[in-house]
Amino acid sequence: MDFALTEEQTAIFDMAKAFGEEKIAPFAQDWERQGTIPKTLWTEIGALGLGGIYVSEESGGSGLSRLDATLIFEALSMSCASVASFLSIHNMCAKMLDAFGSDDVKARYLTPAISMDTVLSYCLTEPGSGSDAAALKTRAERSNDGYVLNGTKAFISGGGYSDAYVVMCRTGDDGPKGISTVVVEDGNDGLSFGGLEDKMGWKSQPTRQVQFDDCKVPADNLVGEEGKGFKYAMMGLDGGRLNISACSLGAAQSALDKTLTYMGERKAFGKPIDQFQALQFRLADMETELQAARTFLRQAAWKLDQGTPDATKFCAMAKRFVTETGSKVANQCLQLHGGYGYLADYGIEKIVRDLRVHEILEGTNEIMRLIVARQLLSDRA
Ligand SMILES: Cc1cc2nc3c(=O)[nH]c(=O)nc-3n(C[C@H](O)[C@H](O)[C@H](O)COP(=O)(O)OP(=O)(O)OC[C@H]3O[C@@H](n4cnc5c(N)ncnc54)[C@H](O)[C@@H]3O)c2cc1C
């Protein structure tokens, strides 16, 4: 067993970290205030090969592993978790198109997504179905030349901003087997968006409802086979959960790094606050918890790369553990900054706000516990 990163993996991490420090961190607070991320950033990220991180090389992607991807998301999130997690959603969609899309779908939607001339959104959640995603109601009726979509998707990251939407919709009966996946292009007749959601964190990413009113989509925009869309969506989520965990890890690590610096500078009762043993113990606990989270995350990613039978369980356990650890550490870092932690200038309160949603999306952490418990009980039988 070898826990060390390879030279190539270290280089990937360093490259993503340096890119974030130069091109993301200095602007992250402005983008948050503006509520958007300039699209020029995506083409720069695409040029680094990060628009299709684990898209196969045959399809034009970088062909990296899930473990490599966690390094990239950890490194980018040290600059901004909101930007990094948006890239994660885009990559999740790109991988679905790579794994299941026809050559035609790949040519039209995957190729520009890899260069990030276009960005993709993932549309599963609806106003009436979140955790119970297989209960989705958006309907895609077959017509002579394709599908006619009617329904509403909720909480869509990149809604009204992305260039194409990977939409899970019902082509058959109730339940997961009646669900298919289609790509809907921005500008399509019958596609419209709700108002901008006013959120606690992830503020630089626009989140809106995505609405379909007799939205006609060509039959060729079907991804893979009819009735398999839910399976595709769930397969995308295993990796998405690792990425989101990596985003929590990287942002929490940057909060801890900032806190270490701050505690050496801030004085109380005549000495730097890093001299109080109670606070030193908190630093030790945070370091231990982040290292444990990192090791666990990388093990889960390794399992997904190897395709082990327990990979889904490990992705769920890692998502639950790493996102909760990340939030806890970030919140402690805010506390150790005293009142200054509450001010935007110190960059900690943004991390606390951004990380909170990682416990909710890509499957809530209650649903992660459900996946783990179900697996435990079925293994027992
Ligand atoms: C900022 C943001 C961005 C998002 N981006 C996207 C996106 O791009 N695409 C997309 O498709 N979705 C997106 N989502 C939606 C997200 O995935 C859902 O919010 C999430 O899956 C939870 O669904 P819900 O909000 O309907 O909560 P509900 O499912 O209504 O859950 C409410 C509570 O009940 C708990 N619960 C539900 N069922 C069970 C159960 N069986 N056992 C125990 N507890 C249970 C939940 O854990 C939660 O605590 C986003 C959400 C947010 C907030």
Question: What is d(CA 224, CA 345) in angstroms, rounded to the nearest whole number?
Answer: 47
CB atoms within 10 A of CB 373: 12
Q: Whose CA is nearest to atom 52 of ligand 1?
A: 155
How many angstroms is it from 360 CA to the middle of ligand 1?
Answer: 6
Query: Is residue 73 in contact with ligand 1, taking CB distance under 6 Å?
Result: no
**Contact by Cβ (8 Å): 363, 241:** yes
Q: Whose CA is nearest to atom 24 of ligand 1?
A: 130
Whether residue 123 has its Cβ less than 6 Å from ligand 1: yes
Q: What pLDDT is attached to residue 236? A: 83
pTM over 0.85: yes
Model pLDDT, residue 309 = 95
* Residue 176 contacts residue 232 (beta carbons within 8 Å): no
| Residue 205 beta carbon below 6 angstroms from any ligand 1 atom | no
Rounded distance, CA 359 to CA 369, Å? 12
Which regions of the chain are under pLDDT 50?
none
Rounded CA separation 197/207 (Å): 6
How many CA atoms are closer than 13 Å to the CA of 144, on its beta-carbon side? 0
Which residues are designated catalytic? 362
Span from the CA of 134 to the centroid of ligand 1 (angstroms): 13
Cα of 129 from ligand 1 centre, angstroms: 8
Distance in Å, CA 46 to ligand 1 centroid: 29
Q: How many CA atoms lie within 13 A of 142 on its CB side?
A: 6
Mutate to test the pocket of ligand 1, among 361, 367, 370, 374 (most ligand atoms within 8 A of CB): 361
Residue of 134, 138, 159, 135 lying closest to 149 (CA atoms)? 138
Closest CA to 153 of 197, 108, 189, 117: 197
What is the structure's pLDDT at 227? Answer: 98
165 lines ligand 1 (CB under 6 A): no
What pLDDT score does 235 carry? 87
pLDDT for 381? 75
* pLDDT for the residue numbered 169: 98
Residue 361 Cβ contacting ligand 1 at under 6 Å: yes
Ligand 1 proximity of 135 Cβ (cutoff 6 Å): no
What's the Cα-to-Cα distance from 142 to each of 139, 184, 187, 225, rounded to whole Å? Answer: 10, 15, 21, 14
Q: Give nearest CA residue, ligand 1 atom 23.
A: 130
Q: Specify the pLDDT at position 47.
A: 98
Say how far apart CA 138 and CA 114 lie, in whole Å. 28
Q: What is the structure's pLDDT at 36?
A: 96
For β-strands 271-272 and 139-142, DSSP reports them as unpaired
Rounded Cα gap, residues 96 and 224, in angstroms: 9
- Residue of 360, 362, 372 to mutate, ligand 1, most atoms within 8 A of C-beta: 360
* Nearest Cα residue to atom 17 of ligand 1: 361
Answer whether 97's CB lies under 8 Å from 183's CB: yes
379 Rama class: left (phi>0) / alpha (psi -120 to 50) / beta: alpha
For residue 2, the model assigns a pLDDT of 87
Please state the atom number of ligand 1 nearest to the C-alpha of residue 366.
Answer: 47
| CB of residue 155 inside a 6 A radius of ligand 1 | yes
Cα-based torsion angle of the residue sequence 339, 341, 345, 351 in order, rounded to the nearest 10 degrees: -160
- How many Å lie between the centroid of ligand 1 and the Cα of residue 381? 30
20-43: pLDDT as tens digits: 999 999 999 999 999 999 999 999
Residue 95's pLDDT is what? 96
| Distance, CA of 162 to CA of 101 (rounded, Å) | 19
Predicted pLDDT of residue 155? 98
366 CA from centroid of ligand 1 (Å) = 10
What pLDDT shows up at residue 156?
Answer: 98
